[in-house]
Amino acid sequence: MTVSIWILGDQLVPENPAIEKAKSQNKIEDISVLMIESDARVSRYRYAAKKLVLLFSTMRHYAENLRNQGFTVDYRLAKDMTSAIHTHIRDYQPDSLVLMAASSTRGQQFQSNLENMTMVPVEIIPNTTFLSNRYDPFPKIGKQENIRQESFYREMRRHFRLLMDENGNPLGGQWNFDKQNRKKLPDDVEIPERIQFEPDSITNEVIQSLSRRFSWFRAPEDFNLAVTHEQAQEAAEDFFQHRLMDFGTYEDAMTHRGEVLFHSMLSPYLNLGLLDPLELAKKAEEDYCKGRVEINNVEGFIRQLVGWREYMHWQYQRLMPELADENYFNAHNPLPEFFWTGETAMNCLRQIIHRVLKDGYAHHIERLMLVSNYCLLAGVEPGEVLDWFQSLFIDAYDWVMVPNVMGMGLYADGGRVGTKPYISSANYINKMGDYCQDCFYDHKKRTGEKACPFNFLYWHFLLQHEEQLRENYRMARMLYNLKYLDDDQRREVRKCAERLQSGYDS
Residue 379 in any domain: the answer is yes
CA 208 distance to own-chain centroid: 27
Same domain, 121 and 155: no
77, 112, 128: which is the final residue of a domain?
A: 128
* Cα dihedral 244, 250, 251, 253 sign: negative
Same domain, 434 and 307: no
Please give the share of the chain, as a percent, with pLDDT higher than 90: 89
Q: Residue 440 has what DSSP assignment?
A: S
Q: Residue 273 has what DSSP assignment?
A: T
Same domain, 101 and 22: yes
Q: Which among 474, 478, 441 is positioned nearest to 461, based on CA atoms?
A: 478
Residue 235 in any domain: the answer is no
Same domain, 121 and 162: no
Residue 80 in any domain: the answer is yes
Residue 495 in any domain: the answer is yes
Same domain, 287 and 389: no
Strand, coil or helix: what is 321?
coil
Contact in structure between 360 and 393 (CB atoms under 8 Å): yes
Judge if the upstream peptide bond of residue 321 is cis by omega within 30 degrees of 0: yes
Same domain, 358 and 385: yes
Predicted pLDDT at 386? 98
Q: Which among 166, 496, 182, 224 is positioned nearest to 359, based on CA atoms?
A: 224
Residue 251: CB atoms within 10 Å: 24
Predicted pLDDT at 503? 67
Domain that holds residue 111: 3-128
Domain count, the chain: 3
What is the Cα–Cα distance from 30 to 33, expressed in whole angstroms? 10
Predicted pLDDT at 506? 44
The CATH code of the domain that includes 302 is 1.25.40.80
Predicted pLDDT at 143? 82
Same domain, 365 and 271: no
Same domain, 117 and 159: no
The CATH code of the domain that includes 396 is 1.10.579.10
319, 346, 379: which is the final residue of a domain?
A: 319
Does residue 260 come out as left (phi exceeding 0), alpha (psi in the -120 to 50 range) or beta?
Answer: alpha
What is the Cα–Cα distance from 136 to 144, expressed in whole angstroms? 17
Residue 238 in any domain: the answer is no
pLDDT in tens, 286-344: 999 999 999 999 999 999 999 999 999 999 999 999 999 999 999 999 999 999 999 99
Burial class (CB in 10 A: 0-12, 13-18, 19+), 157: buried
Per-residue CA distances from 449 to 333, 359, 362, 443, 488 (Å): 22, 32, 29, 12, 16
What is the Cα–Cα distance from 119 to 99, expressed in whole angstroms? 15
Same domain, 489 and 462: yes
Same domain, 397 and 251: no
φ and ψ at residue 449, rounded to 5 degrees:
-60, -35
What is the Cα–Cα distance from 452 to 450, expressed in whole angstroms? 6
Residue 200 in any domain: the answer is no
Residue 249 in any domain: the answer is yes
The CATH code of the domain that includes 102 is 3.40.50.620
Residue 291 in any domain: the answer is yes
CA 240 distance to own-chain centroid: 21
Same domain, 386 and 451: yes
Contact in structure between 65 and 58 (CB atoms under 8 Å): no
Same domain, 410 and 284: no
State pTM to two decimals.
0.94
Per-residue CA distances from 495 to 334, 424, 439, 501 (Å): 19, 19, 22, 10
292, 319, 346: which is the final residue of a domain?
A: 319
Low-confidence ranges of the chain (pLDDT < 70): 503-506
